[in-house]
Structure 1
Amino acid sequence: MDLIPAPVSSVRLPDQDFPLDRTTTLTAPPELAGAERWLRSSLTAATGLPLAPGRPGEGVELVHDGTLAAEAYRISVRPGHAVLTAGGPAGALWGAQTLRRLLGPDAYRRAPLRSEWVLPGVDVEDAPRFGWRGALLDVARHFLPKSDVLRFIDQLSAHKLNVLHLHLTDDQGWRVEIKRYPLLTGKGAWRERSMVGYRAGQRRDDRPHGGFYTQADLREIVAYAAERGVTVVPEIELPGHTQAVVAAYPELGNTDVVDTSDLGVWTDWGVSHNVLNPSEATLRFFEGVLEEVLELFPSEFIHLGGDECPKEQWKDSAAAQTRMRELGLSNEDELQSHIIRHFDRWLAERGRRLIGWDEILEGGLAPGAAVSSWRGYAGGIAAAQAGHDVVMCPEQHVYLDHRQAPGEDEPIPVGFVRTLEDVYRFEPVPPQLDETAARRVIGTQANVWSEFMHSARDIDYRVFPRLAAFAEVAWSALPTDPAARDFAGFERRMAAHLEVLDALGVEYRPAAGPHPWQTWPGVLGRPIEGLPPVV
């Protein structure tokens, strides 16, 4: 049946097909009404069939079974009756996605192309391996219009990925409306120009770039995602990656070592040395920011970055050094840890949890914090062994902005070569962890950084088809030994899955290489050659 991600088990029953017609009904109990609503909307658009509500025991029926795990489901298709049994609303949505896939690629279109539709006779049992199956979308470096974010959510949900990590702020732009601090978007959301490719190429696009999401936009994004089983986790960077903040509110910078009064939003890629000062006033400012963020995002986790914070300004700042002495801190790493610990407590008091990049381990990690392990596995291993929850997203394996092939035609080639097979053989739980620590790996995530992606078309090319391979790693019960995985079988299923991506309008990278319009001739990238995956 070419299902991606692969279910726990599936049996094709060729003589048990269920033809659908205008009399076919769709029924669900109140607790699964969201999945019923989504399935009817999707299939009615694609098939033209009304799928009116019916009675239990006929048509397509959703059933709740509380003995199943929340994201687990079963599907049984027989002539005249298809039953989707789910452990909860999330399981019903994932089962609904599978039902749509069973109808074929045309079920992903927004208008009917044919009049005959058949659900194949099947028995499917399924449940995910990990609870956190995520993708990071960086909208700070290149702003992505709201409609494209909603489209990306559809892509995640179609692949049973359930977390959208939305990277909303960075040196190059601030993308979330904060009403009490209007200059964050009034000034911080706009930069004068952008680098084109890597800095060594010395190319610039002198067109101003920017944009932000209003609070109404973000509420819409969160609600839209929730209807599709996706939780939006916001990222607000601090104390580094914050030049856009300092450009908007200069007093938040280290004003005793740098003149921040005429600082602009950064127009380079990379990491700015203009970081936040560590004063109490700065903490109060970001508490105000986060109060509004918490109103917009109901997610358990709030991502506060915590990565790549240059310490030079703190070392040179008399105010920062005085602050360290007042707090009894011995070095700048401990000063950063103080800031992270402060917001860990602040979030915990409000029923939320902090998650940050693995640099938050430096100087001591807040007890309740979780770690996104991006610099290889080492940070995640240390965090898990210390009793912290971990999301594995090592750069060397699942950064999908990294190039997919070594060819000269790859557009703005950056990072490591990571092919479809490389992603499929990624194993999120390192063998160094014992059983107790391994349970701390709550999931995995693929990251999509947008310095070299200017539009949704660019994102499609970088992300797909590799995100489909990642989705199977995150969902399916694959062998934990990467060498034992059946990549040939996945490739065969992937050939059929490309028709789904075509129907969705995803401009993925062809196996033979980019189409001419997907190349960026003459734009310099930053390829990294000959480096093995870092453990």
Structure 2
Amino acid sequence: MTSFDCLVPQPVTVTPAEGAFVLDSRTTLVADPGAEAAARWLRRVLGAAAGLALPPSTVDTAAAGIELRIDPDAAPGPEGYRLEITPAAVRVVAADASGAFYAAQTLRQLLGADAFRAANVHSGEWSLPCGVVVDRPRFGWRGCLLDVARHFMPKDALLRFVDLLAAHKLNVLHLHLTDDQGWRMEIKRYPRLTEVGAWRHGSRVGWRLDDSHDGRPHGGYYTQADLREVVAYAAERGITVVPEVDVPGHVQAALAAYPELGNTGERLDVWPLWGVNENILSPSDAAVKFFQNVFDEVVDVFPSPVVCVGGDEVPMVQWERSPDVRRRMGELGLSEVAELHSWFLRQMAERLADHGRRALGWDEMAEGEMPEGVIVASWRGEEAGVLAAARGHDVVMCPEQHVYLDHRQAEHPDEPVPVGFLSTLQDFYRYDPLPADLDPATEHRVLGAQTQVWTEHLDSPRRVDYAAFPRLVAFAEVVWSPRQARDLADFERRLAEHHLPRLDALGVEYRPLTGPRPWQTRPGVPGRPRARVQPSSGTSSQQTR
């Protein structure tokens, strides 16, 4: 039997007690309306791992083996739960469906690593330690971005990634669906976006200064039915899928399909390289209407109250050189080319508002006039987020200096494709989403934080596993657990003794704490290490997306 000191993320409070609750073929499970998804999930995973059916009780619910109740007044807060385990019963009181699901995740952890397997390999009884857990998340936005545009992730692997986020009590999957290197969402009104834009002739390998690529075609896309399935699957696990269609830059895949949307009319291929691309959208009525129509289909598929419009890394060279763009600025009453960036994003944000949705944009959006209700994703550092909060905008903290999972995680000589800042497991754990210079009066504007998995150099689910884990585990504790409860030494113990065996059981090919395994290295593939220098909010430092 495990004990409560195995839990990840660290709960708010734990009060151990004597004894254990033993699960067997007679153990029942009852659930209130609202907790059915958690009950279905628990029956599914424990049915596979332990052969336990957990049938509904045929007697009074007070006598049930496991009871999942929804009672916001008796729970510790949104997404929170109170879990009491006695020798006679397991009782959960949750604030909502998400809280019930997180309590079920806690029960699975308490059963040990074998409970994370797809078939029963356990010997001995299945038991839970007695005691009380009172738990709730520190932040309401506990997110992870997954870039499926640079390297496509097949649907089954995407669903697996959802399960991994859920296992760590994260609740937002930010899905980066479009970029220069690929368009991954079916848009029925514009079929060439996937017919042409969903594949490229090759991919740059590592970080090179020339225009060479491997010449191996790469592609794939999700139908709208696929994405509805992903959304429903995630919702059952308390996760909101936030879609991103990036405009007005990072659009060469769209321009390859519809060149008339650009500024030059030049026929382009889907880009096989990485970095910042000068090919951006025209600020014409036609281009605006095209992408408003795209977002109309996006919101029809994704029920998320938030939709990302991108707005990052937009070189304005083509706008500055174009007489047509200068005439357009006169029509719009704009005096500076940079104003077109904010203007374009406002057209998308206002269209989303017409659908009752809020726009999320990268922090470049905050350099211009923003509509009310826009959320700023502060990625180039924390300064833009602090300023946006002071201006009355909600913020998601995702600074590349602290929470980019594609960045190198050690100075180890065999570290594969070492790009970006050095971001160790310990660095992730020490990060706090509330910056030291944030005015306490605006702390409520920080919705939470989000870690990012950009996939230029992550060309398979195995590579994503290596980059994400175990650092994502540390991030999960940062955004869930109370700041004062975090203890690096204790986290490292829980990780090594208890959580890495769970990841092993799930088949996660994480980076070992001592360095990569031989097959996880990439000899001869150049990286681009960078020094950790805090940029200003007005300058872009990444140059690799």
Measure, in 2, the Cα distance between the counterparts of 1:421 and 1:369. Answer: 32
TM-score computed with the length of structure 2 as normaliser: 0.95
The normalised TM-score by structure 1 is 0.96
Does residue 106 of the first structure (1) align with residue 114 of the second (2)?
yes
Cα separation, 2, equivalents of 1:531 and 1:308: 18
| 8 Å CA contact retained: 1:70, 1:89 | no
Name the residue aligned to 1:356.
361
SS in 1 for 2:346: helix
Match of 1:526 in 2: 528
How far the C-alpha of 1:100 sits from its partner, in A, is: 0.7
Amino acid at match of 1:47: A
Which residues in structure 2 correspond to 1:432-447 (within 5 Å)?
432-447=437-452
Whether the 8 Å contact between 2:213 and 2:272 is mirrored in structure 1 is no
Using the TM superposition, name which of 328-337 and 172-181 deviates more.
328-337
Match of 1:73 among 65, 78, 81: 81
Identity percentage of aligned residues: 57
Give 1:92's aligned amino acid. A
- State the partner residue of 1:488: 489
1:164-185 CA-to-partner distances (Å, cap 9, x unmatched) read 0000000000000001100000
- Answering whether residue 344 of structure 2 is matched by residue 344 of structure 1, we say no
CA contact (8 A) 1:232 1:297 kept: yes
Opposite residue 103 of structure 2, the aligned amino acid is: G
* Equivalences for residues 169-184 of structure 1 within 5 A: 169-184=178-193
Distance verdict in 2 for CA 1:195–1:460, change over 3 Å? same
Tell me what 2:325 maps to: 320
Q: Aligned residue pairs: how many?
A: 526
Distance 1:320 1:38 in 2: 54
Identify if the C-alpha distance between structure 1 residues 355 and 120 changes in structure 2 by more than 3 Å, giving closer, same or farther. Answer: same
1:59 match: 65
What does 1:161-176 align with in structure 2 at a 5 Å threshold? 161-176=170-185
State which of 386, 389, 398 in structure 2 corresponds to 1:384: 389
Aligned counterpart, 1:196 = 205
Segment of structure 1 superposing worse, 172-181 or 345-354: 345-354
Letter aligned with residue 3 of structure 1: L
Q: Give the secondary structure class of the aligned counterpart of 2:282.
A: coil
Equivalent-residue separation in structure 1 for 2:151 and 2:394 (angstroms) = 30
1:129 aligns with 2:138: yes
Contact 2:143 2:174 in 1 (8 A): yes
- What is the identity, as a one-letter code, of the residue corresponding to 1:86? A
CA separation of 1:406/1:531 partners in 2, compared to 1, >3 Å: closer, same or farther? farther
* Cα displacement (A) at 1:533: 8.3
Unaligned runs of 5+ in 1: none
For 1:431-510, list aligned pairs within 5 A.
431-479=436-484, 485-495=486-496, 496-510=498-512
| Alpha-carbon distance, 1:204 to partner | 2.5
Deviations along 1:268-301, whole A, 9 cap, x unmatched?
Answer: 1011111000011111101111111111100000
Please give the per-residue CA displacement for 1:294-327, whole angstroms capped at 9, x wherever unaligned.
Answer: 1110000000100101100000111111111111
Q: Which moved more, 1:123-132 or 1:38-47?
A: 38-47
Amino acid at match of 1:488: A
What pairs up with 1:23-422 in 2 under 5 angstroms? Answer: 23-54=26-57, 55=59, 56-57=61-62, 58-67=64-73, 68=75, 69-114=77-122, 116-200=125-209, 204-255=213-264, 259-260=265-266, 262-422=267-427
| C-alpha distance after superposition, 1:465-487 (max 9, x if no partner) | 000000000000023xxxx9521
Superposition deviation, residue 16 in structure 1: 2.3
The alpha-carbon deviation at position 432 of structure 1 amounts to 1.6
Aligned counterparts of 1:94 and 1:455: Cα–Cα separation in 2: 29
- Would the aligned equivalents of 1:403 and 1:418 in 2 still touch at CA under 8 Å? yes
Change (3 A) 1:202 1:248: closer
Q: Which amino acid aligns with 1:71?
A: E
Once residues 81 and 60 of structure 1 are traced to their aligned partners in structure 2, the CA distance between those partners, rounded to angstroms, is 6
CA distance in 1, matches of 2:411, 2:533: 13
Deviates more, 1:145-154 or 1:51-60: 51-60
Aligned partners of 1:140, 1:353: CA distance in 2, in Å? 23
**SS of corresponding position for 1:433:** coil
Q: Tell me which moved more, 410-419 or 339-348.
A: 339-348
Q: How far apart in 1 are the matches of 2:535 and 2:514?
A: 25
Paired with 1:164 and 1:345, the residues of 2 have a C-alpha distance of 23
Moved more, 65-74 or 348-357: 65-74
Deviation of 1:367 (Å): 2.0
